[in-house]
Amino acid sequence: MSAFPAFAALLVGLAALLLLYRRARRRGVRYPPGPPGLPPNRERARRAVPKGVSVVEVPRDVQAIRYVVVAHGCSVFGGWLRDVDFVCAAGTDILRLNALGTNIIVIDTLKPALELLDKRSAKYSDRPRMIMLNELAGFGWNFGSMEYGENWRECRKMTHREFHAAPFKQYRPILYRNACDFLRRLRSGRGTVPGHLKHVVGANIMEIVYDIKVLPEHDPFIVLAEAGQECVGRSTTGGLYLVELLPFLKYMPSWLPGAAFKRQAAVWRQAADKQLHVAYDDFLERMKRGKVENHCMAKSLIDSYGLDDPVADGRMRATTATMYMGGAETTAAALHSFFLAMALYPEVQAKARQEMDSVLGLGKLPTFDDFGTLPYIDAIVKELLRWYPIVPLLIPHKLSTDDVYDGYLLEKDSFVMVNIWAILHDEDKYKEPFAFNPDRFLKNGALDPDVFDPQEVAFGFGRRVCPGLHMAYDGMWIIVATVLACFEIGMPKDAAGKVTELREDFVSSFVCEPKPFVCDIRLRSEAHASLFKDE
């Protein structure tokens, strides 16, 4: 017998043994409930739901939860699951979907989310590989999508130095100054609210990270960062790339038919490289000329790590560039929801103003010196995090080893998503969860410690928890407080001055944001304009 058939027989034998071993090991094992296999459409998905798992049909106008399943597409499954618009199992804590061999675990309640992602975070802190995004399009430097390991740990350490609660306070004057600029832009009547929000959050990040003061319009650094952000959005929500399932395809020559994904990735790679290097190189160049005037993240990192170590240099570039990726779209989306909520709930505005007038006195713009003295403003920020959670399904974590929870086997390499939307709309925690009602967080005029704080879940879990959460909270707080101090936000009106309809209509994407809408924004009085006039 020649060597090849013997070798082939040996391989087949080994594969069969492995299969038998895995079957034996799995015998008696329970998996979390869920539809068997990939549900390709709504009808089949509904029929496929196993006994004992009830399915909640979601009202069409409550857009966000439709994406409990659809938003799996944010990582890799979008194309297939897009038309599935039913949602999660009620009565189960954990749901398991299987999409062509990839397990997706959806955690629907707080207890398993905390137990697994927080307490057992050593096992649950990896991310899916995302070949198109990380490896082909060149965004592997983004530590938000980086695999768990030393590189990721070092980037987190670098972020923590500047962004945890105490050091971040030094950046509050920047947030305040840019908030005043935002008020002036709002007053000008030019542009759009989402455009102004994008500008203010971009301005905050660029200044805090690189000491760059952006231009009022078409700032080149924001333009580059937005271009990078758009590539990430398109590569993660545009549907599945076959290369995610067949990784060897990544070596396919770009000129071959069927390799359009590689040509697309090459275009995105240019944006990824620019986002990584341009602002950082600009900072280095200014530093060499002695032109860096203020403390910023890049300066602090270079003061500690120096300029000579190429590994540290790569990580400093990656860490600083990741801040825009994580912080711009999310914060702008949350504040966009703020304008919608205020137009829909004028009584909330009235209460906020009453609080500010009585605590601060008339005719004063709130500043960070007032932080902690305005519980109703804090309650509005918390309700914004809860009402339409900004990242309703988390960024998928990946389980790095088999695990067991409540008798269920959770397999190594499963994607793990938390249904933050469901947790923050749990009627046991929040009465009338669909209403925007900041009062739910208050008792006797102070924040009620017995009400579950949405911050506990809205920023994620365990070792992957959002490192920008203090910046996010402070950045939202100052805009909410100063806008309410100076402006009235009302329902849209037609040309004849008649109030027109305004709906809660949100974009179906990885980040939950209202679809464009019009509202009526008016200065409370000319005297209020003097509170934020040009410096």
Residues that bind ligand HEM (CB under 6 A): 143-144, 156, 205, 322-323, 326-327, 330-331, 334, 390-391, 394-395, 397, 458-461, 464-468, 471-472
Q: Which is nearer to ligand HEM, 151 or 523 (CB)?
A: 151
State the first-to-last Cα distance of the chain, in angstroms, to the nearest integer.
90
Residue 254 neighbours by CB under 8 Å, 6+ apart: 262, 263, 266
In the complex, least distance from residue 357 CB atom to ligand HEM, rounded to whole angstroms: 27
Q: Which is nearer to ligand HEM, 351 or 470 (CB)?
A: 470
> Rounded to the nearest 10 degrees, what angle do helices 260-288 and 220-237 cross at?
150
In the complex, least distance from residue 141 CB atom to ligand HEM, rounded to whole angstroms: 12
Give CA–CA dist 280/321, Å, rounded. 8
- 255: left (phi > 0), else alpha (psi -120 to 50), else beta? alpha
Give CA–CA dist 392/407, Å, rounded. 27
Q: Which is nearer to ligand HEM, 113 or 240 (CB)?
A: 113
In the complex, least distance from residue 529 CB atom to ligand HEM, rounded to whole angstroms: 28
Give CA–CA dist 280/322, Å, rounded. 12
In the complex, least distance from residue 404 CB atom to ligand HEM, rounded to whole angstroms: 21
Q: Can you tell me which residue has the tokens 């061999």?
A: 101
Judged by DSSP in three states, 489 sits in strand
Phi, psi of 387 (to 5 degrees): -55, -60
Q: Which is nearer to ligand HEM, 156 or 172 (CB)?
A: 156
Q: Which is nearer to ligand HEM, 78 or 326 (CB)?
A: 326
Q: Which is nearer to ligand HEM, 487 or 510 (CB)?
A: 510
Q: Which is nearer to ligand HEM, 298 or 390 (CB)?
A: 390
Phi, psi of 442 (to 5 degrees): -115, 150
Give CA–CA dist 247/318, Å, rounded. 25
Q: Which of 460, 451, 462, 464 is nearest to 420 (CA)?
A: 460
For β-strands 408-410 and 102-107, DSSP reports them as: unpaired
Q: Which two tokens stand for residue 323?
A: 């801040």
Q: Which is nearer to ligand HEM, 144 or 314 (CB)?
A: 144
Q: 272 near 160, Cβ under 8 Å?
A: no
Q: 74 among the known binding-site residues?
A: no
For 134, 238, 432, 529, the CA distances from 252, given in Å and listed in that order, are 17, 21, 53, 60
Q: Which is nearer to ligand HEM, 80 or 461 (CB)?
A: 461
Q: Which of 90, 104, 188 is nearest to 426 (CA)?
A: 90
In the complex, least distance from residue 324 CB atom to ligand HEM, rounded to whole angstroms: 7
> Rounded to the nearest 10 degrees, what angle do helices 220-237 and 310-344 cross at?
80
In the complex, least distance from residue 433 CB atom to ligand HEM, rounded to whole angstroms: 18
In the complex, least distance from residue 418 CB atom to ligand HEM, rounded to whole angstroms: 8
In the complex, least distance from residue 204 CB atom to ligand HEM, rounded to whole angstroms: 8
Give CA–CA dist 45/53, Å, rounded. 13
Q: Which is nearer to ligand HEM, 172 or 397 (CB)?
A: 397
Give CA–CA dist 156/150, Å, rounded. 10
Q: Which of 510, 413, 398, 400 is nearest to 127 (CA)?
A: 398
In the complex, least distance from residue 290 CB atom to ligand HEM, rounded to whole angstroms: 27
Q: Residue 380 CB: number of other CB atoms within 10 A?
A: 26
Q: Which of 527, 210, 484, 219 is nearest to 363 (CA)?
A: 527
Give CA–CA dist 507/333, Å, rounded. 10
In the complex, least distance from residue 504 CB atom to ligand HEM, rounded to whole angstroms: 18
Binding residues for heme, as ranges, are 466
* Sequence ranges of the binding site: 466
